[in-house]
Amino acid sequence: MMIAAPDSLRDWQAERSEIAQLPTTAAGERLRARAQRTRRSIIRMIDQAGAGHIGGDLSATDILTSVFFGVMRVDPNEPTAPDRDCFILSKGHCAAALYSTLAAAGYVDERELDTFMAPGSALNGHPSRGKVAGVETSTGPLGHGLPVGVGTAIAAKLTGSDARTYVVTGDGEMQEGSNWEALMSAAQYHLDNLTLIVDRNRLQQGARTEETNGLDPLDTKLASFGWDVREVDGHDFGQLLTALTTPSDRPVAIIANTIKGKGVSFMEDRVEWHHKVPDAEQVRRALAELEPA
């Protein structure tokens, strides 16, 4: 079942081309407002479903917003167009953030978000290719997105396409060996058309990354694997847009320093909000904190 929303589509294209005209700071303001809307939608989805991965959804929201509203060259009307840019959310447990972003971008009907994880819904707890337009590959088991992204980037080279691939991983996810195999392949194949964004919120499921299987110094590790490494504040849209748009002759790795649970004070940087579900009062407080200023 494919779902698309012609209504919000026109808005999205208009909004995107407007954002593209703006200087970086003004664009950043627009993206921030957009991201707050997405965060509210995430809270409502998780409340409705009674399940979800709220902390990682909120840490990745600004990244997803920057990619979809700032740089991706795609047409939600033609989600399988041959030269489209490719986006892969490798940390598939943050499906709610992806679905909300896809809805804002016109791939998914906003109303469909209410069916998140409901029986028979296309919006499974982890994104499923073929069920939701804009989902390029099914994810959920960690450490799959980057290898697939290497494949789509090589395919672009082989077919003479200028399509770019963007992959978002968690930082805990970078403990999976498959990522490091893919990092080597990307350098080997000179994939200057591939961007990896690591959502560096420093928490994983059960503890801090550095207390579990430390990744630091992640920047020098990635650089030594042949990548052009850029470290940014993952909640600063100006920095994100600059890192996403500055060209390189190598694969680009953006270490986006983020806060798990970003935007909701009592969830921020707290390990238990990996997949805790807020109660009614917490939902109310979260939505209030996420109101536009």
Partner 1 sequence: MREQTTISDVPPFDEPVFDNRVAFAEELIDIAHRDERIVAVCNDSVGSSNLVKFRAEFPDRVINVGIAEQNMVGVGAGLAARGLIPFVCGASPFLTGRALEQIKADIAYSQHNVILCGMSPGMAYGELGPTHHSVEDLSWLRALPGLDIVVPADAEQTRLAVRQAASHPRPTFIRVGRFKVPDVTHGAAKLVRGRFSTVRDGDDVTVIATGTMVSRALQAADVLAAAGVSVRVLDAAYIAPLDIEAITAAAGATRGIVTAEEASVSGGLGAAVASVVAQLPAPARAPMRILGVNEFAPTGSTAYLLDHFGLNVDGIVTAVKELLTE
Ligand X SMILES: Cc1ncc(C[n+]2csc(CCOP(=O)(O)OP(=O)(O)O)c2C)c(N)n1
Give residues in contact with partner 1 (CB under 8 A).
49-53, 92, 117-126, 128, 138-143, 172-173, 175-177, 204-207, 209, 212-213, 275-277, 279, 282
Single-letter code of the amino acid located at 33: A
Residue 77, contacted partner among ligand X, partner 1, none, CB below 5-8 A by kind: none
Q: Is 91 exposed, middle or buried (0-12, 13-18, 19+ CB in 10 A)?
A: buried
- DSSP 8-state code for residue 23: -
Residue 203, contacted partner among ligand X, partner 1, none, CB below 5-8 A by kind: ligand X
Q: How far is the CB of 154 from partner 1 (least distance, A)?
A: 23
Residue 206 or 217 having the CB closest to ligand X: 206
Residue 59, contacted partner among partner 1, ligand X, none, CB below 5-8 A by kind: ligand X
Residue 56 or 79 having the CB closest to ligand X: 56
Other C-beta atoms lying within 10 Å of the C-beta of residue 54: 29
Measure Cα distances from 288 to 215, 259, 291 in Å.
Answer: 35, 19, 5
Residue 193 or 209 having the CB closest to partner 1: 209
Contact 202, 173 (CB under 8 A): no
Cis peptide leading into 217, omega within 30 of 0? yes
Residue 199, contacted partner among partner 1, ligand X, none, CB below 5-8 A by kind: ligand X
Q: How far apart are CA 157 and CA 152, in angstroms?
A: 9
Residue 161 or 212 having the CB closest to partner 1: 212
Q: How far is the CB of 273 from partner 1 (least distance, A)?
A: 10
Tokens for 226?
């042949």
Residues 6+ apart with CB under 8 A from 23: none
Tokens for 281?
């009062």
Q: How far is the CB of 206 from partner 1 (least distance, A)?
A: 5
3-state secondary structure of 196: strand
Residue 49 or 153 having the CB closest to partner 1: 49
Residue 76, contacted partner among ligand X, partner 1, none, CB below 5-8 A by kind: none
Q: How far is the CB of 176 from partner 1 (least distance, A)?
A: 6
Residue 260, contacted partner among ligand X, partner 1, none, CB below 5-8 A by kind: ligand X
Q: What is the dihedral of CA 120, 125, 128, 131, to 10 degrees?
A: 30
Phi, psi (deg, nearest 5) at residue 156: -60, -45
Q: How far is the CB of 283 from partner 1 (least distance, A)?
A: 11
The CB-nearest residue to ligand X is 170
Residue 55 or 134 having the CB closest to partner 1: 55
